[in-house]
Structure 1
Amino acid sequence: MDLNPPQFSRFVHDGLEIAFFDEGDRSGDPILLIHGFGSSANVNWVFPGWVKALGEAGYRVIALDNRGHGASSKPYDPSLYHPPQMAGDAAALLSHLGIGDAHVMGYSMGARISAFLALGHPHRVRSLIFGGLGIGMVRGVGDWDSIAGALLAPSLEDVTHERGRMFRAFADQTKSDRQALAACISTSRDLLSVEDVGRIEAPVLIGVGTKDDIAGSAQELAALMPHATALDIPGRDHMLAVGDRVFKKAVLEFLAEVGRR
C-alpha cells in the first residue's frame, strides 16, 4: 500500500453525504479512523502513513471525512456538529459496511468523537486509540472561540491570535470550507464528564506529544478509565504527533495485544 489517496465512496446519513474509504484486507480486523478538526481522512491518515502501516499489519482500514470536512457534506448550521451526531456518522458507516464492531482511532476532535461513539454505541467499539487529546477531553482545551473568527477573517494577514493563525493557515493549505469549519468549531467541543469517561469499558491507548499545548495530560485522562494506557510522544507538538514513528509502533503493539485477549 502506498501514500496515494485511495478511492472514496459515499453514503447518506442524517441527510448528509459522508465520504469514506475502505482499504486493506477485508478479512482482517477492521479499524475505523476518525480525523481531527480542519483535517480529512487523507491529510490525517493517508499522507502520514497510517493507512499503509495498518494495512501492512493486516488490518481492514476504514476512514471517513467528518461532516464539514474533506469530500463530505458541509452544512453551515452549528447545531449539526455536536459530537454525538458526528459519532452517529461513524456508527452509521460501520452499519453501511455490515461491520458489527471495530477498533476505533481518533485524533484530536476525532478522539472526542471516538469517545462519544464508545459511550453512545459501546457494542461497536473493540478498542480505542485517542491521539492528540488527553484530559482536555474533560476540562476543555482553552479558548477556541478565536479560531472561528480566524477562519472567517478576510485573510490570514488579518489574524493576530497565534492559535487562530495556525488553524487558519491549515484551513487555507487544505482548501477547506472555512464557513463550515467555523460552524463545526462552535459546537464540536462538548466535554465529557469524569463519570462519562469512567464508563468507557473498552481498552484505550492515549497518545499525546510532549510539546502538545492543546491536548492536556494523557496520564490524567488514562487514570479516569478502567482499561487505559498513556503514551508520551517525544518532542512532538499537536500538529506533528499524528504521524510519529513512536506513536505508530505503540498503536500496532496495542492493537496486537488487544487482539490476543
Structure 2
Amino acid sequence: MTVFAMAPDGVRIALHELGDPDGEPVLMIHGFSSNTQRNWIDAHWSDSLAEAGLRGIGMDLRGHGDSDHPARGYEVDHFVDDVDAVLEQLALPDPPGAIGYSMGARLLWRHAGTRPAAFRALVLGGLPAGDPFQQFDVALAHRALEGEAEAGPMEAFIVELAGTFPEHDPATLITLAGEVSKTLFDPEDSPPDLPTLLMTGEKDRRASDTETLLPLLPDARFEPIHGRNHVNAPTSGHFRRTASAFLAEHLRSPA
C-alpha cells in the first residue's frame, strides 16, 4: 500500500515499503527519471534488505513515480523539504539510515550536511564530485524534445533519460532538471559528518570521480561496483549486499 507525506507546498510524496517490515528503517531515494519501483524494487533490493534485517522506505521524488508531478516547484530547497516531510511523517523513534542513488545521493549529501541528526549512516551510489546539470540548457532541451532543435550532449542525455520510462512525463522531468540546475551541487558546502559508504560502477562515466570526495568526509570509504555503469549499477548484487551490510552494522550499534 502506498502512503503519502505532505510537503510544505502541498505536493504529495509517495512512500513504499520493502525489505523486513520489522527491521531497522532505511530511507531510500532513487535517481533522476527513476522511481522506487524501478530503482529499488525491480532491482531486488527488498531481498537484500530483509536478509540484513532492514526495513526499506522508498520515497518517490516529486515529479517521479506515484508522487505528485507539479508543473513547477523543483528547486533544490523543495527536495530537501520533502525529505524533512517524509521523516516527520514516519515519526521514527531513532534516526534511520539512508541510501541514495545519483540525484538521490546528491539530495542526501545536501540534507545530511545541514541536518546532522537526521540520519545515522549513509550509502551514496553513483555520486559525481561535480554537478551533472551544470552545462544543461533547459530551453534547448525542451526544443529538442519537440524536434525543433538539435540537442547538445548534456541536453541529449537528459532528454533520453526523461523518456526512459512511460510512467513519467519527459517535459516535466526536463523542467525539473532545469530548476534543480539553478543550485549546483557543491560537495564542499556542508559535507555530511556521519558514517558514509560511497559506491560507484567501475564503468560509470557520469560519476567516475566519486572517490575524490573521500577527503571531505570524516568517516567514509569507497567501493567500486564491478562491471556496472551509471544506469545498471542499482541491479548489482554486490551493491545491494555491501550497502545493506554497511547500514545494518551502523544501525544496530548505539546511536
TM-score class normalised by the smaller sequence: 0.7 to 0.9
Q: Equivalent residue for 1:173?
A: 164
Residues 7-32 of structure 1 deviation map (CA, whole Å, 9 limit, x = unaligned): 32223212111111133434311000
| Gap change, CA 1:177 and 1:47, over 3 Å in 2 | same
**Superposed counterparts of 1:78-93, under 5 Å:** 80-93=73-86
2:179 pairs, out of 171, 181, 187, with 187
2:68 alignment partner, SS class: coil
Paired residues of 1:111 and 1:133 also in contact (CA < 8 A): yes
| Gap change, CA 1:91 and 1:52, over 3 Å in 2 | farther
Paired residues of 1:205 and 1:228 also in contact (CA < 8 A): yes
Paired residues of 1:152 and 1:179 also in contact (CA < 8 A): no
| Gap change, CA 1:149 and 1:48, over 3 Å in 2 | farther
Q: Equivalent residue for 2:132?
A: 141
2:217 alignment partner, SS class: coil
1:10 alignment partner, SS class: strand
Q: Equivalent residue for 2:42?
A: 47
Q: Equivalent residue for 2:122?
A: 128
Query: In structure 1, how many angstroms separate the alpha carbons of the residues matched to 2:52 and 2:234?
Result: 18
Confirm whether residue 219 of structure 1 aligns to residue 211 of structure 2: yes
Paired residues of 2:19 and 2:50 also in contact (CA < 8 A): yes
**TM-align CA RMSD:** 2.4
Confirm whether residue 236 of structure 1 aligns to residue 231 of structure 2: no
Query: In structure 1, how many angstroms separate the alpha carbons of the residues matched to 2:60 and 2:23?
Result: 22
1:54 alignment partner, SS class: helix
Query: In structure 1, how many angstroms separate the alpha carbons of the residues matched to 2:147 and 2:250?
Result: 44
TM-score, structure 2 as length reference: 0.86
1:22 alignment partner, SS class: strand
Question: How far did 1:90 drift?
Answer: 1.7
Confirm whether residue 254 of structure 1 aligns to residue 249 of structure 2: no
| Gap change, CA 1:222 and 1:168, over 3 Å in 2 | same
| Gap change, CA 1:145 and 1:33, over 3 Å in 2 | same
| Gap change, CA 1:121 and 1:67, over 3 Å in 2 | same
Question: How far did 1:154 drift?
Answer: 4.2
Question: How far did 1:235 drift?
Answer: 2.4
Which has the larger share of helix? 1
Question: How far did 1:44 drift?
Answer: 0.8
Q: Kindly, what percent of the aligned residue pairs are identical?
A: 31
Where structure 2 has 5 or more consecutive residues not aligned to the other structure, the ranges are none
Query: In structure 2, how many angstroms separate the alpha carbons of the residues matched to 1:87 and 1:255?
Result: 22
Where structure 1 has 5 or more consecutive residues not aligned to the other structure, the ranges are 1-6
AA of the residue aligned to 1:113 = L
Q: Equivalent residue for 1:96?
A: 89
1:173 alignment partner, SS class: coil
Q: Which moved more, 1:9-18 or 1:140-149?
A: 140-149
TM-score, structure 1 as length reference: 0.84
Question: How far did 1:126 drift?
Answer: 0.8
Paired residues of 1:10 and 1:19 also in contact (CA < 8 A): yes
Residues 129-163 of structure 1 deviation map (CA, whole Å, 9 limit, x = unaligned): 11011322xxx236551577445534589765455
Query: In structure 2, how many angstroms separate the alpha carbons of the residues matched to 1:46 and 1:127?
Result: 21
Q: Equivalent residue for 2:56?
A: 61
AA of the residue aligned to 1:115 = W
Q: Equivalent residue for 1:153?
A: 144
Question: How far did 1:252 drift?
Answer: 2.3
1:145 alignment partner, SS class: coil
